[in-house]
Amino acid sequence: MLTYTIRRLVLSVPTLLFIALVIFLLLELAPGDPMAQVPLTVPPEVKAQMREALGLGEPTHIRFGKWLWQFFAVEPMVLADRLFGTDFSEGLHRVISWQTRSPVMDIVLQRMPQTLWVVAMAYVVGILIALPIGIYSAYRQYSVFDQVGTFVTMVGYSVPPFFSGVLVIVIFSVQLGWLPSIYDTTHQVTDWQSFVVQLKQMAMPVMVLALQTTAQISRFMRASMLDNLHQDYVRTARAKGLSEAVVVMVHVLRNSMIPVVTVIALGVPQIFGGAIITEQIFKVNGLGQLLITAIQANDLPMVQTVTFMLAVLIVLFNIAADLLYGLLDPRIRYD
């Protein structure tokens, strides 16, 4: 397993480099000029100096190499300096946002906690709800619970976040007045009362994001359980006298989780993508809103960095899913 992990991590390097090249070139070819927002009263020589300060006068391959160096070498050293109090990154050039003139990763780290409060909680809640629904729906196939669950999950999977978000705001905030419609990013959790306030303002964004997660994973869980419930090894386990709970929750569930693990692992970047819309609706000052603002302002370093971070998540969670296959199914061996 260790050899396979190291091999996959090494092979992921050229994959990430290719993805970084594609992202960089696509954004370079996109129309727009960062100097377009500069007032017309600014003299041309000043604009030229501003372009040179942003590195726009250098060739594309030079700027791509500097961006990779800053992302993979400089920023990890900056993070290490903050954690351990060192100064290895002092004097090194960092990726600078064209819009704010601040280091990109500093802004990302400021927005990250808000996104994780909403996205991570929504994904955990969605998984904890989806797995029992999928298991019981498969075990009680065509029952009332299965039919109601199928209807609810299909509706949840079909309704887009921009509609469900507005709907829950109208119901729980406007009509009932139970929950705040706008997420207060400046709120800090210091005691139990402030934690309750945080839960209230998280409730609707988490509800919207968890709805699609629950719908998707529960359908995959149900289909995978149905495929395994009628296998020969299940009849053999029952013939040996094992209890129904052991047969379903140990033997069937373990084999059924293999395809579901793939959906869960690869769904993490997708839930970040769904958070882009949800953060706009609930005014969550997170990574989604940061990406939209950067796109509107033609802030290419910010867009490149946030987009590439999502690509890194996809690669890493894909490797994590492959590693979990060996733990779930002993027949899978990588060494």
pLDDT at 1: 67
**Cα–Cα separations (whole angstroms), residue 262 to 129, 256, 267, 335:** 18, 11, 8, 21
Task: Give yes or no for a contact between 319 and 8, defined as CB atoms under 8 angstroms apart.
Answer: yes
**Cα–Cα nearest to 308, from 28, 71, 40, 53:** 71
More confident of the two residues 332 and 213:
213
DSSP three-state, residue 23: helix
pLDDT at 35: 62
pLDDT mean over 322-329: 72
Q: What is the C-alpha to C-alpha distance for residues 19 and 11, in angstroms, rounded to an integer? A: 13
Q: Identify the burial level of 316 via C-beta atoms within 10 angstroms of its C-beta, where 0-12 means exposed, 13-18 middle and 19 or more buried.
A: middle
Q: What is the C-alpha to C-alpha distance for residues 333 and 246, in angstroms, rounded to an integer? A: 25
pLDDT score of 334 more than 60: no
pLDDT mean over 42-66: 71
Of the candidate ranges 34-48, 102-116, 134-148, the one whose mean pLDDT is the lowest: 34-48
pLDDT mean over 302-330: 78
pLDDT at 89: 63
Question: pLDDT (tens digit, 9 = 90+) per residue, 164-214?
Answer: 888 888 888 888 888 887 777 777 777 788 888 888 888 888 888 888 888
Rg (CA), the chain: 24
**Concatenated DSSP letters for 80-106?**
HHHHH---TTTT----B-TTTSSBHHH
pLDDT at 272: 67
**Cα–Cα nearest to 291, from 22, 107, 164:** 107
> What's the mean pLDDT when you consider all of the chain?
78
Model-level pTM?
0.74
Q: What is the C-alpha to C-alpha distance for residues 214 and 325, in angstroms, rounded to an integer? A: 22
Listed by start position, the domains of the chain span 108-328
Quickly name the fold that domain 108-328 has: MetI-like fold (1.10.3720)
Most confidently modeled of 13-22, 39-48, 99-108?
A: 13-22
Q: What is the C-alpha to C-alpha distance for residues 329 and 42, in angstroms, rounded to an integer? A: 66
SS (H, E, C) 175-197: HCCCCCCCCCCCCCCCCHHHHHH
pLDDT mean over 139-158: 84
More confident of the two residues 335 and 157:
157
**Cα–Cα nearest to 272, from 213, 230, 216:** 213
Q: What is the C-alpha to C-alpha distance for residues 281 and 16, in angstroms, rounded to an integer? A: 32
**Cα–Cα separations (whole angstroms), residue 183 to 87, 244, 274, 278:** 36, 46, 17, 11
Q: What is the C-alpha to C-alpha distance for residues 315 and 135, in angstroms, rounded to an integer? A: 28
pLDDT at 14: 86
pLDDT mean over 144-163: 82
Question: pLDDT (tens digit, 9 = 90+) per residue, 235-274?
Answer: 888 888 888 888 888 788 888 887 888 888 777 776 666 6
pLDDT level of residue 42 (50, 70, 90 thresholds) = low
Q: Quick one: what percent of the chain has pLDDT higher than 90?
A: 0
pLDDT level of residue 47 (50, 70, 90 thresholds) = low
Task: Give yes or no for a contact between 286 and 278, defined as CB atoms under 8 angstroms apart.
Answer: no
**Cα–Cα nearest to 272, from 195, 212, 198:** 212
Q: What is the C-alpha to C-alpha distance for residues 25 and 19, in angstroms, rounded to an integer? A: 10
pLDDT score of 330 more than 70: no
